[in-house]
Amino acid sequence: MSTILIVEDEKSIVDLISFNLKREGYDILAAYDGGKGLELALSGRADLVLLDVMLPVMDGFEVLRRIRQSSSVPVIMVTAREEEQDKILGLETGADDYITKPFSIKEMAARIKANIRRTAGTQKPQGGDTYGPFRLDKGLQSITKNGRALELTQREYDILCYFLERPAQVVSREELMEKVWGYDYYGDLRAVDVAMRRLREKLEDDPAEPRYLMTKRGAGYYLQV
């Protein structure tokens, strides 16, 4: 299931879009100003962003510009202004598509579907090594999932790196503590469990039912890709 982030300050419009997209099977995130919108867009939780141009705190173009500094999440600009210039500016700043208000929900749903499909099919190749949906670029110290950068702390990056380099191999908590934290196993092993839980929240679609970072009862953890 895909998650759509709606960045729009008119609550009635958010409610209308949200209601209709939920019926189409999407999960919805909403932000009512540009600052919050940017924060959510960069959280990695959205598969596509519907971005209004006229917004409080930060306008849509500025939000888009900042999103593109670190993320390739598909963005559809929603503009009330008809001027061609706006559309062109939006596309040059890195928008994937645009919709002019007033729009039909049907048109919007079709554009969303097309843009999600397109970006899913044409991930640009980057540097680094691929492991299932993950790509590890040690030069950039970055790990992406399905082309989107995961926002990891240094420790989370180190842990995931350790697993990516040992696919399907069970790693005990003691080993992780020793290799990643660097202490011997007199350290508190619960720190490992806490870190693994946080990591799952960042990379699993459903942290309660992990598909990648698996637990091997009584033995440790392993990565399934």
Catalog residues that contact Ca ion under the rule CB under 5 A: 9, 52, 54
Q: Closest residue to Ca ion, Cβ-based?
A: 54
Give me the least distance between CB of 27 and Ca ion, in Å please.
Answer: 22
Q: Which is nearer to Ca ion, 12 or 85 (CB)?
A: 12
Q: Which is nearer to Ca ion, 27 or 59 (CB)?
A: 59
Give me the least distance between CB of 116 and Ca ion, in Å please.
Answer: 23
Give me the least distance between CB of 80 and Ca ion, in Å please.
Answer: 7
Give me the least distance between CB of 14 and Ca ion, in Å please.
Answer: 10
Q: Which is nearer to Ca ion, 78 or 149 (CB)?
A: 78
Q: Which is nearer to Ca ion, 60 or 210 (CB)?
A: 60
Residue the block writes with tokens 């999932």: 145
Q: Which is nearer to Ca ion, 99 or 191 (CB)?
A: 99
Give me the least distance between CB of 9 and Ca ion, in Å please.
Answer: 5
